[in-house]
A and B are shown apart, each in its own frame.
Chain A
Amino acid sequence: MLEIQNLTLGYGKNILLRNISAQASPGELIVIAGRNGSGKSTLIRAMTGLQKPLAGRILTDGIDIGSLPRETAARKVSIVNTDRVRIPWLKCRDLVALGRAPWTGWTGRLSDRDEEAVSEALESTGMTDFAMRSMDSMSDGECQRIMIARALAQDTPLLVLDEPTAFLDLPGRHQITALLARLASEKGKTVIFSTHDIGIALQRADRFWILDRDGLIVRNAAEAAADIMEIFGIQEI
């Protein structure tokens, strides 16, 4: 259970989001929509506890994420950000295994339970066959699946993703969005992601968080289209 309470985000005097509140339950797929610069990435960073709010707080299971030690926070929320990750010589399985970091000791040695979680994460994302390959020979869509698998291996109730479909072709966008919907419903995770692919998101999302100058408004998928068109000033999606 994620609760955003009267949150204000920004950098110094530049306030991006003022006094926003929202909630997300396990199993929900939530899409953050908004124009460039509306604060989508900042909100996502704040949900991982890496961006300090100017006011308000974000609670996971009733605890302020900002007050948790880093390692404890890493067991609550995992992220897929917009960094392009291509590490030569690193096999996909080892990359996914890095997601186990909050659960392993100082050397990062994997227990049987950890190995199991890694295999499961690869299977859930359909990437088992890629386990022994390295990312520099893979497509953008395949790499994005591996990054999602890494976040899954972290085994957190909350998974947030910053524009996970941005660099993908059309089939890739549909596949990744479908994958996220499946992870939310089958694994009971709260999945929150930002995107500009509103059309695809409308087919899959349970709810929309729409960001604009007035802050954050929450809409069901059925009623979101009209508001998004109005805020974006467009006639159709």
Chain B
Amino acid sequence: MILWTAGAVLLAALFAADMMTGSAGIRAADVWKAMAGGDVPEQTRLIVMQIRLPKTVTALLAGMAVSVSGLLMQTLFRNPLAGPYVLGISSGASLGAALCVLGTSASAALAGSSVLAAAGMAGAAWAGAAAVLGIIALASRKIGDITVILILGMMLGAGIDAVVQVLQFISDEQSLKAYVMWTMGSLGNVSGVRLWLLAAAVLAGTGMAAVSCKPLNLLLLGEGYAASCGTDVRRVRLTVYAATVLLAGTVTAFCGPVGFIGLAVPHLARLAAGNADHRVLIPATLLCGGVLMMSCDIIARAAAIPINAVTSLAGIPVVIWIILRHRR
């Protein structure tokens, strides 16, 4: 209980800190006033409400989403190194997004906040993520060895990245620039319709994970045991796949490929909770995901570097720790 309270306080503190951080030097008191509807210059209010708030909320939601999708993949594939990034799901989503960015004119896809453009981008990413997940799922039915599946996922990811490179090569300069910006990851392009779509996807994906908490716990034992305990394994697998596509696909579409958070956070959540029970782990993962992503965003904003670089640098030590821990 103390840990939960501490986590919630930390999350709130980071939210506030994230709101304070930015290139425009706005005093903490003014940020608060702008949010509370107090008396501040119009420009300050715009920056706080139109730029910083959406960006901070996006960091929170994106961190939660990729972390829960990582947790789901690790449980389903019974492997500590599974995650949307490693399994190539993020790459699949980025191919969908790339087709969208490079295919349409960049201004329409990125700057346009129309419902259609946002839904199109998300839809393309969902389709890409679902396609890769479908291939991985099919392969895992035939191949029992999870190491082979992980390598397959990485190869798929690398292959898709190569296809994307070809797309970049043949696309015009403007689209290319937009795409390169997208690959660096950005939490700043999500507002209006996109933010609502992201929030809805996170809510739906997390909800699907939450109602599956009992079968997810049973899947820790393996599919054979889960089925012998009364679980409809096929249905659970489909639910979890759909949740992953929603969570990882939407974030990839709107924020670019966010590396390593999805892989690392579930381990931090297990460490913090000292538990493997999904009824505890799902909220713990949401909390840790939000905390880590907002921390990364604060660093990225303060140092003015791409978010993807920060998440990788933060996540990689955790991954190395996992490998060393599971060595025996």
A-to-B contact residues, CB < 8 Å = 48, 50, 70-75, 77-79, 81, 83, 85, 87-90, 94-95, 98-99, 101-102, 104, 106-108, 150, 154
List residues of B whose CB falls within 8 A of some A CB: 80, 211, 213-214, 217-218, 220-222, 224-225, 227-232, 270, 273-277, 279
- Sampled A-B contacts (20; CB under 8 Å): A48-B227, A50-B228, A70-B231, A71-B230, A74-B228, A78-B228, A83-B222, A85-B225, A87-B220, A88-B80, A89-B273, A90-B275, A94-B277, A99-B229, A101-B230, A102-B230, A104-B214, A106-B211, A108-B217, A154-B229
A153-B211 Cα distance, complex, nearest whole Å: 23
**A150 partner residues in chain B, CB cutoff 8 A:** 221
Contacts between chains A and B (CB distance < 8 A), count: 77
- Residues on A with C-beta less than 8 A from B224 are 50, 79, 81, 83
A64, B274: Cα distance in complex, Å: 42
Alpha-carbon distance A95/B213, docked complex (angstroms): 14
Task: Answer whether A90 and B277 are a contact pair too, CB < 8 Å, given A70-B231, A71-B230, A98-B217.
Answer: yes
The residue in chain A whose Cβ has the minimal distance to the Cβ of B269 is A89
**Residues of chain B within 8 A of A102, CB atoms compared:** 229-230
A residues in contact with B279, CB < 8 Å: 107-108
Known contacts A70-B231, A70-B232, A83-B225; can you find 4 more A-B pairs with CB under 8 A? A70-B227, A98-B221, A107-B213, A107-B214
Once A83-B224, A108-B214, A108-B217 are accepted as A-B contacts, the answer to whether A101 and B229 lie under 8 Å apart by CB is: yes
Known pairs A87-B276, A106-B211; A79 contacts B230 (CB<8 A): no
Q: How far is the CB of A199 from chain B (nearest CB, A)?
A: 29
CB–CB A73/B213 < 8 A? no
Contact status B228-A48, CB under 8 Å: yes
- Tell me the minimal C-beta distance from A166 to chain B in angstroms: 16
Q: Provide the bound-state CA to CA distance between A83 and B221, in Å.
A: 8
Q: How far is the CB of A48 from chain B (nearest CB, A)?
A: 5
Min distance, Cβ A205 to any Cβ of chain B, angstroms? 23
**In the complex the two chains form, is B225's CB within 8 Å of A81's CB?**
yes
| Residue in B closest to A48 when the chains form the complex, CB atoms | B228
A83→B213 CA distance, assembly (Å): 22
Nearest CB of B to A163, in Å? 14
The distance in angstroms between the C-alpha atoms of A106 and B274, with both chains bound, is: 23
